[in-house]
Chains A and B, each alone.
Chain A
């Protein structure tokens, strides 16, 4: 059974940093491209970042380009999102999700990031 478990969320002040983690199991992680998708409270979904299985390609939504960095450790079956220079508008539940032909088929339960002073 595919399992994705996010961690690392919490309350942070504007301008601060946070690192999210996603522990994966139940599938061949090192062959799977991965994504982060977020959802602001009461709002819709927004794709945030993509990383290819071998880290050769990384893509970001324009609003986080230069502030967020997606990475992975295939030996540890883990996905990460380093978030710097956080803004109030980055407040959201962040989901890690497996890539499925330009879609996302397995999602974690999500982790809440709150950016507030």
Chain B
């Protein structure tokens, strides 16, 4: 199973919007609407931010949104806040009952 491709870093100023991409193939991102996104602060446990491409769990601010086009999924963080600075990982269900993650994107709030 190949990992999904994410940019290693992204940044934005407070109040701005930033979008993180997650590119896979027709065997994972492009083939299923089961993309999820996780936020992980240093030394902390990952937190589910988006599931099934666009859905937000209870308690996640609506500043976080997800989308997908073909084999590329995206996470958009609007109205950036200092506490959004963290690592973000995408994941997708894949053929043959597997799950794959992206390599992670370090989001810096300038």
Give me the interface of A with B, judged by CB distance under 8 Å. Answer: 35, 37, 44-47, 50, 57, 59, 61-62, 95, 100-105, 107-110
Tally inter-chain residue pairs, CB-CB below 8 A: 64
Whether B79 sits at the interface, judged by CB under 8 Å, is: no
A105: chain B residues at CB < 8 Å are 48, 51, 57
CB distance from B99 to the nearest CB of A (A): 4
Residue of A35, A46, A95, A109 near B101 (CB, 8 A) is A46
How many chain B residues sit at the interface, stated as a range, is: 20 to 34
Whether B38 sits at the interface, judged by CB under 8 Å, is: yes
Q: How far is the CA of A105 from the CA of B46 in the complex (A)?
A: 9
Whether B86 sits at the interface, judged by CB under 8 Å, is: no
CB distance from A104 to the nearest CB of B (A): 6
Q: How far is the CA of A35 from the CA of B89 in the complex (A)?
A: 17
A109 touches B45 (CB 8 A): yes
A101: chain B residues at CB < 8 Å are 34, 51-52
A103 touches B98 (CB 8 A): no
CB distance from B97 to the nearest CB of A (A): 4
User: Can you name 20 A-B residue pairings with CB atoms under 8 Å?
Assistant: A35-B99, A44-B101, A44-B102, A44-B104, A45-B101, A47-B91, A50-B97, A50-B99, A59-B97, A100-B48, A102-B32, A102-B34, A102-B36, A102-B93, A102-B99, A103-B34, A103-B91, A104-B46, A105-B51, A107-B47
